[in-house]
Amino acid sequence: MGKNIPLGRIGSEEDLAGVAIFLASRAGDYVVGDTITVDGGIVHAALGQSIDV
């Protein structure tokens, strides 16, 4: 399954932890009412978009 993910691997706890730490820190203070997708680029690939933008 990991080979079908644009980043080439299945996500780990650390991938989710990075987003959680960002949202809990001052850096994420201004993020309100948004969805942050942590999926290794699957959504962008399905839409035909590059994750390298």
For residue 11, count other CB atoms closer than 10 A to its CB. Answer: 14
pTM over 0.85: no
Long-range contacts (CB closer than 8 Å, 24 or more residues apart) made by 32-41? 38/11, 39/5, 39/11, 40/5, 40/6, 40/7, 40/9, 40/10, 40/11, 40/15, 41/5, 41/6, 41/7
Each residue's pLDDT expressed in tens, for the chain with a length of 53 residues: 777 788 888 888 998 999 999 999 999 999 888 888 888 888 777 777 665 65
What pLDDT is stored for residue 52 in this prediction?
60
Judge whether 2 and 8 are in contact, CB under 8 Å.
yes
- Please report the pLDDT score of residue 51 as a whole number: 56
